[in-house]
Amino acid sequence: MSEFCLPVRVYYEDTDAAGVVYYANYLRFIERARTDWLRTLGVDQGALMESHGVAFAVRSLEAEYLKPGRLDDELIVRSTLEEVGRAQVVFRQNVMRGEELLFSARVRVVSFDPVTARAAAIPKDIQEKFKILEKVVS
């Protein structure tokens, strides 16, 4: 699975007064896609924190808002891995309406210990899953 796709329907609550997707909601859409992708890989983030004392957090984000999504649109969030490191993963995420690109982001996610707030290595079993995906993309 070199790409993960998550369908998203735009609801009234996702839009501003003009019926256009509110800019911050794209971040919610891509967060859901990353979380669901981890689930399909067998990674439960709550269990990860309990068993390994590790959590994931967004460290940086580059985003481009290209075209507006609108009320009732059927969107697809397409996620791919760009880079896997010892304590970080970089995702490319695009929000599409059909073949039309609406939003694009490059997201750097870090693994950290929530108690110390310091970087922590991604557990080996999860890193291996990411590395397999990274090879498929390369």
Catalytic site includes residue 36: no
Contact indicator for 81, 104 with CB cutoff of 8 Å? no
How many helices and strands (H and E) does the chain possess?
3, 6
Contacts of 46 (CB under 8 A, 6+ apart): none
Instruction: Give, in words, the CATH class of 3-137.
Output: alpha beta
**What are the pLDDT digits (tens) for 22-51?**
999 999 999 999 999 999 988 888 888 888
So where are the chain's domains? 3-137
- Work out the mean pLDDT of the chain and round it to a whole number: 92
Check: pTM over 0.85? Answer yes or no.
yes
pLDDT at 50: 87
Catalytic residue among 16, 44, 72, 125: 16
